[in-house]
Chain A
Amino acid sequence: MAEPFIIAENLSYTYTDDEGDSTEALKNVSFTVNSGEYVAVLGHNGSGKSTLAKLLNVILTPSGGSLTVGGHKIHADMSEDDVFEVRRDVGMVFQNPDNQLVATIVEEDVAFGPENLGIPRDEIRMRVDDALKTVGMYEHRGAQPHRLSGGQKQRVAIAGVIAMMPKCIVFDESTAMLDPRGRAEVMANIRKLNDDFGITVLHITHYMDEAVMADRIIVVNDGEIYRDGTPKEVFCDVEGLRRVGLDVPQGRELLYELSECGIEFDDNPIDIENCAKLILEKFGAQK
C-alpha cells in the first residue's frame, strides 16, 4: 500500500478582506493523495484550487479542519523548522515564468534553492547539473533567463524545484501562458518526474487534454470537491462538468453528443483512438 502524503480532513479556508467581509474559499474538503500519485486538479476560476495549492506549501494555513503534508500538520503556529521542512518537501511552479526566476544565469537560478537549504557546494553542483539535464536545459546552463522562450523558462523553474529534491511538486497552472510547443515540453517533464523519480504531482490546470494525462482528477467547485476519480470516471459526466464551467476532451464530447441523439456506445473512452474504435465498430455492425 502506498503511503498517504497529503491528508485533508474537513479542511476549510476563509479569506477576510479589509472591510471584514469573508469568503469561504474551501469548505470542509476531505481527500488523500498518496506518495507517487499524479493528480490533476480542475475547477473554474475562483473555485478554490489555488487556495488549496497555497495551503500545501504553508503560504496559507487552514481556517478549519486539518491538513497533513508529508507527516507535518499544517497550522498557524508551526515552528519555523517545520515550515521549512514542508517547503523543502513540496515544491511549487507557478503560472508566470517571469515571476519565479531570480538569478541572471540559468544555473545560478537553479542553485538558488539548494544554496538556501545549506547543501555542500559539490553536491549543489551535482544537483544543478542533474536537474538541468532532467528538464533538457543543460546546454543552456550559462544562458540568461530573459533570453529563453516561455517553455524554456518554465523548465528552468522546474529544475530549480527538482534541485531541492522535493517529494511533491505542485504545478499551479504552469502551462497557462505557454504556446503549444512550450506546453508539450512542460507536460513531458511533469510526466517524467512522476514516472522516473516517483515525485508526487498535483497539477492545477484549465486544459482538459492535460488533465487526461494524470492518474486521477479532483474537480473543485465553489470550495467543495465535486468529483474525484480516474480521468475516465470524471469525464464520463459531461453534463455535470459543463454545469460547473468545465469541459471534456473532444472525443468524449462527440460520443456523448451522439448518445444524446440515440446512438449509444458501450463505453466512455476519453482518448481519440478508443473513441474512433467504438465508432468504427458501430459503423461496421450497421452494414
Chain B
Amino acid sequence: MTILELSDVCYTYDKGTPMAHEALVNINLKIEKGLMTGIIGHTGCGKSTMLRMFNGLLKPDSGKILLDGKDIWENPKEISKVRFRVGLVMQYPEYQLFDETVRSDIAYGPRNMGLDEDEIARRVEEAASFAGVSRDMLDRSPFELSGGQKRRVAIAGIMAMKPEVLVLDEPAAGLDPKGREDIFTGLDRYRRESGASVIIVSHSMEDMARYCDRLVVMNDGEIYLEGTQREVFGDAEKLMQIGLGVPEVTKLISLLREGGMPIPQEIYTVDDAKAVLISMLGGGRK
C-alpha cells in the first residue's frame, strides 16, 4: 500500500531569475507503507528538496503530493497538520536542541500538537526508548551530552509526534560505527513496532543494504533508479556511471563469480554472503 505519493512533481529554485535552478524534474514516486525506504544520490541531486516536499516545507511548482491518497496542498491552511503526520529530521539535528532538559526538548513537538500532559509524558518515554535515549539522560541538559547522544535526542523529539512517515536526512552522518548501528537499529525497531514508514537518506551502500526494503537513487533532479535492493544493486554498472556503487561484499561476490564460483549475484549483506558460503564450503560447526 502506498502512504506517500509524488505525482509529476517539478520544482525550480529562483524561478524566473538568471539563477534559476531546476531541482526536481517530473518526479513520480510511491513510498510504501510500513517499509524502510532509502534515498541515495550525490550532493545537489535534489534529495533534500524532495524531502522538503514530503512534509510541505516546500510547495511544488507543479504536480501533486498525496499523503494517504489526499493532496496535501488541497487546503494550504491545513498544511501544519501534515507536518505532524510526516516528521522530518534534518541533517545534524543536534544543533536544533534548545530546551533546558532532554525531557522538555523531546516534549516540544507533542506539546505543540495540543496533547494533554499525561499523553505527552507517555510519548516522551516511548520515543526516548525507541531512539536509545536512556532514562537517566531525560533530566539532564541536552548540552551536556555527547554528539551521538544529542543526535538521538533530536530524533526522539520527532518520534514523539508519532508521525506516520518519519523522514531522516543522513541520520548517521559523522557518527562512529557503533553509533551508526545504534541509530539504524533504533529506526528499524520504531518502524516495526509503530507500523510507521521510514525514509532515510544515506551515502553508505552497506547501511542501505542492511536496513532498507526499497531504494530510490536520484541524479540531477530525477529518479535514476528505484525499486527493491535487487532491482537497484543489480544494476552496478548504472550506479557506477554516476559515481555510486554497490556494497563491498557485493563486489566480492562478483569476483567470486568471475573466478568460476556458482554463487548467486544477489547478495548485499555480509550475513547473506556468510549463509550462502557456508552452504557451499560446507562449514557450520559452531
Contact = CB atoms under 8 A, between A and B. Distances in A.
Interface residues of B, number: 42
Interface string B201-244: 00100100000000000000000000000000000000000011
Interface in A20-56: 43-46
A258 B283 contact: yes
B255 A273 contact: yes
Interface in B249-286: 249, 251-252, 255-256, 259-261, 270-271, 273-274, 277-278, 280-286
B17 interface: no
A127 B173 CA distance: 34
Interface stretch (B5-13, B73-81, B104-112, B176-184): B176-184
A179 B278 contact: no
Contacts of B142: none
A238 to B, nearest CB: 11
Q: Is the interface of A mostly helix, strand, loop or mixed?
A: helix
B91 to A, nearest CB: 9
Contacts of B148: 45
Contacts of B44: 149
Nearest to B181: A247
B195 interface: no
B146 A45 contact: yes
B46 interface: no
Chain A interface size, as a band, is 35 or more
B248 interface: yes
Contacts of A46: 146-147
Interface string A228-255: 0000000000000000011101110110
A245 B256 contact: no
Contacts of A249: 248
Nearest to B277: A258
A45 B176 contact: yes
Nearest to B43: A179
Contacts of B115: none
Contact of B177 (A246, A280, A282, A283): A246
Interface of A: 43-46, 95, 149-151, 173, 176-184, 206, 208-209, 245-247, 249-251, 253-254, 257-258, 260-263, 272-273, 275-277, 279-280, 282-283, 286
28 contacts: A43-B176, A44-B179, A45-B147, A45-B179, A149-B43, A178-B43, A179-B41, A180-B243, A180-B244, A182-B43, A183-B203, A184-B243, A245-B176, A246-B178, A249-B248, A250-B206, A254-B252, A254-B274, A257-B271, A258-B274, A261-B283, A263-B278, A263-B283, A272-B248, A273-B255, A279-B261, A283-B256, A283-B280
Given A45-B179, A208-B177, 7 more contacts: A45-B148, A179-B42, A184-B243, A245-B176, A262-B285, A280-B260, A283-B281
